[in-house]
Amino acid sequence: MSDPTEHYLRKELYALIQSDRKTFEFLQRASLDGLWYWDLQDPEQEWMSATFWQTLGIDPAQKNIWRLNGRI
């Protein structure tokens, strides 16, 4: 059963990784700083991994505060 609170872009990224081995291999090589997945057709929609936020020095639990304050 899927989590109804899970972001749709996170679900989409996981499905893409499962369906295309090349995508996984690319991400595995290039993701030392975390993952950021962005809906280019709806730029207001994005999903970032916790590692992405930590790389920026931001506690993932506080990311919405940073966005509201216009820092990111």
Answer whether 0.75 is exceeded by the pTM.
no
pLDDT of 58 over the 60 cut: yes
Residues 6+ apart with CB under 8 A from 64: none
> Would you state the pLDDT for residue 60?
84
Residue 19's pLDDT band (boundaries 50, 70, 90)? very high
Which residue from 35, 39, 28, 25 is spatially nearest to 56, judged by alpha carbons?
Answer: 35
Per-residue pLDDT at 62 exceeds 60: yes
Neighbours of 40 (CB within 10 A): 7
Determine the average pLDDT of the residues in 14-39: 81
**pLDDT tens digit string along 44-55?**
888 888 888 888
